[in-house]
Amino acid sequence: MQALYLLALEPVSESTSDPNSYGFRLNRSTADAMSQIFVAMSQKGSARWVLEADIKGCFDWINHDWLETHVPMDRRILRKWLKAGLIYKGQLQATEAGTPQGGIISPTLANVTLNGLERKLISHLGAKFGTKMAKKLKVNVVRYADDFVITGDSKEVLESEVRPWVEAFLARRGLQLSEEKTRIAHVDEGFDFLGWNFRKYSGTLLIKPSNKNTKVFYRKVAETISGNKTARQEDLIRLLNPMLRGWAQYHSPVVAKQTYSRLDSLIFRRLWAWSKRRHPRKNIEWVRAKYFHSIEDRNWVFAAPVAWKDGSKGLFELYQVSSTTIKRHKKVKGDYNPFDPNWEQYGEELRQGRMWESMRYRKQWATLYMSQGGNCAHCGSALTDETGWHDHHLEYRMHGGSDALSNRVLLHPHCHQQVHDGNLAVTKPVLS
């Protein structure tokens, strides 16, 4: 039932969301939040101070009366969810505050609760100081779920104007800032947010994987290696590769090459110790020959000999973190609403651009291209590198259309524009 109500509530929440809120929203990510902080703090004349804020137990303490009054849905149903209680160690415990534990609607309820933090703060400052003066304060809000940062041109503005207003905003919703995790910092000292460290070095803002995030991840990798002392090399690689690739891809939009190289070195030492421990009576050269190989111009590659599905033999290697390509993230537009038909074309282009690095998506694209004979589904002319192409949904996703290949075609960019502007129907080509 929560899923049904979420279908109706999510579009409403999107329509009232702040431009720079990125958590639990379609087509938004931590990378978008990171990019917005870069926009707000990277220039010479940008804000120099930041309020790092963390809401204490956000999902556990949202006021039920506030939710019932402000969430646009059946109040009787909402109240039943909020007061349903939870089972802890076999005992039913009452829930007097907070959103449904584990409920799929809870993230959206939290967003509805915090929507307005950015817009209302900017409006408050404009009303108090005037629009022109308020802009000079350089106050920008970037939120991801219940974590957010607020920039300012001075420490005094953040302490005397911004923080008291934020605390009052949260108090009306039954929430409060965590004293331990909330602080005001200068950009030259740096601050951590969403696993990254933001800091200016000689006037240049650099965003790197935070030391805390890197240490936590390395500890997880080390525990995986030490916990699989007797595992086959191939199985250990299968355990490690998704972890290494996922972590590296998360940090690929920032200045991470030095961290990647350091992590590769630390992991190599762990794997070398793992290899030697398995064969205490063998010499170093024997251990090296068994577990480490030369692949192209790289030596000491942790890899296992395997037989592939086609019968051929090769080496299954550990993912090299430092091989990850650093690529600047293109931030989503703040006003983008995936439920607004006027944004459908932008949403399709955004999705295509972000999915292109995925091998799975490239295979889908190749299938579409071959099924259309290499031609545009609208004008029938050839699709080439020079013309470019867009991935178009026949039935819009916001109208319930799926991502299945049967609901997608490739169009020239200008044809795609014509189709959306003229609300033209496109049929899927059938090759004779």
Q: CA-CA distance, 278 to 337, in Å (whole number)?
A: 55
Q: CA-CA distance, 220 to 227, in Å (whole number)?
A: 10
| pLDDT at residue 251, as a whole number | 98
Give 382's DSSP letter.
B
Please say if the pLDDT value at position 1 is more than 80.
yes
- Mean pLDDT over each residue of the chain, to the nearest integer: 94
pTM: 0.88
% the chain with pLDDT above 70? 100
Contact 221, 270 (CB under 8 A): yes
- pLDDT per residue over 95-145, tens digit each? 889 888 778 999 999 999 999 999 999 999 999 999 999 999 999 999 999
| 73-81 contact pairs (CB < 8 A, 24+) | 73/5, 73/8, 73/9, 74/5, 77/1, 77/5, 81/2, 81/105
The string of DSSP codes covering 116-173 is THHHHHHHHHHHHH-HHHHHHTT-EEEEETTEEEEEES-HHHIIIIIHHHHHHHHHTT
Average pLDDT over residues 274-278: 97
269: Cα within 13 Å, side-chain hemisphere: 7
Average pLDDT over residues 3-12: 94
Confidence band of 432 (pLDDT split at 50, 70, 90): low
Please say if the pLDDT value at position 86 is more than 90.
no
- pLDDT per residue over 342-383, tens digit each? 999 999 999 888 888 787 888 999 999 999 999 999 999 999
Contact 392, 411 (CB under 8 A): yes
| pLDDT at residue 358, as a whole number | 80
205 SS3 class: strand
Which one has a higher pLDDT value, 403 or 37? 37
- pLDDT per residue over 23-54, tens digit each? 999 999 999 999 999 999 999 999 999 999 99
Confidence band of 397 (pLDDT split at 50, 70, 90): confident
Q: Express the helix, strand and coil content of the chain in percent, nearest 5 each.
A: 45, 15, 35
| pLDDT at residue 323, as a whole number | 96
φ and ψ at residue 259, rounded to 5 degrees:
-65, -40
Most confident of 81-90, 103-112, 212-221: 212-221
Please say if the pLDDT value at position 184 is more than 90.
yes
| pLDDT at residue 34, as a whole number | 98
Return the structure tokens found at 148: 């957010």
